[in-house]
C-alpha cells in the first residue's frame, strides 16, 4: 500500500512524523480524507481529532485548529497546539472544560464567549483523544 508522510508541528515541537496510508481531518468545509498523490491544497482546520491510518491501525492526534498543507507525497499540519493521547493530562483538560463551561454560563461579551467556546472545544478534543 502506498504511503505519504504526515508531519504535525506546533511552534514548540514536532508532535508527529510518520509514513501513513491515509490522513483524515476536519477542514472548515467538512471532513477530508487525504490519500497519496492527492492534489495540492491548503485548508484551515477545525479543533478536532486528526486520524492517521497505517495498515489496519488508526492513530489519533488532538489538533487544535491551524492549517493543513497537502503536497503530492506529504501532508504538513501546523497548529498552535497538538497532542498525542499519551501526552494529554486528563485532569488539566477536565479543569479547562469546567472553567470554559462556567465562563459560557456567565453573561459576558461576545469576545469572551467566543474564547470560552474555543477553550471548551480544545478541552473536549483532548478528552476525546485521551479516551475520556
Q: Per CB under 6 A, does 132 bind ligand ATP? A: no
* Residue 27: C-alpha distances to residues 106, 109, 123, 130 (Å): 30, 27, 19, 21
Pick the binder of ligand ATP from 58, 89, 101, 114 (CB under 6 A). 89
Strand order, beta sheet including 22-27: 30-34, 22-27, 47-54, 57-64, 82-84
State which of positions 61-80 bind ligand ATP (CB under 6 A): 64
What is the smallest separation between the CB atom of 73 and ligand ATP, expressed in angstroms?
Answer: 28
Q: Which residue has the cell 478541552?
A: 123
Site string for ligand ATP, 103-122 (x = CB under 6 A): ----------------x--x
d(CA 80, CA 101): 22
Piece of the chain touching ligand ATP by CB under 6 A; list 27-35, 49-57, 68-76, 90-98: 90-98
Q: Per CB under 6 A, does 81 bind ligand ATP? A: yes
Amino acid at each position: 500500500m502506498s504511503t505519504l508522510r504526515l508531519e504535525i508541528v506546533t511552534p514548540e515541537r514536532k508532535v508527529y512524523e510518520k509514513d501513513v496510508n491515509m490522513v483524515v481531518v476536519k477542514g472548515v468545509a467538512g471532513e477530508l480524507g487525504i490519500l497519496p498523490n492527492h492534489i495540492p491544497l491548503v485548508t484551515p482546520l477545525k479543533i478536532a481529532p486528526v486520524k492517521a491510518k497505517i495498515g489496519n491501525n488508526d492513530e489519533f492526534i488532538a489538533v487544535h485548529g491551524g492549517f493543513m498543507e497537502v503536497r503530492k507525497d506529504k501532508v504538513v499540519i501546523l497548529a498552535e497546539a497538538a497532542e498525542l493521547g499519551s501526552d494529554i493530562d486528563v485532569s488539566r483538560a477536565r479543569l479547562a472544560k469546567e472553567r470554559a463551561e462556567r465562563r459560557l454560563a456567565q453573561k459576558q461579551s461576545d469576545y469572551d464567549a467566543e474564547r470560552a467556546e474555543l477553550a471548551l472545544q480544545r478541552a473536549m478534543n483532548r478528552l476525546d483523544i485521551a479516551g475520556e
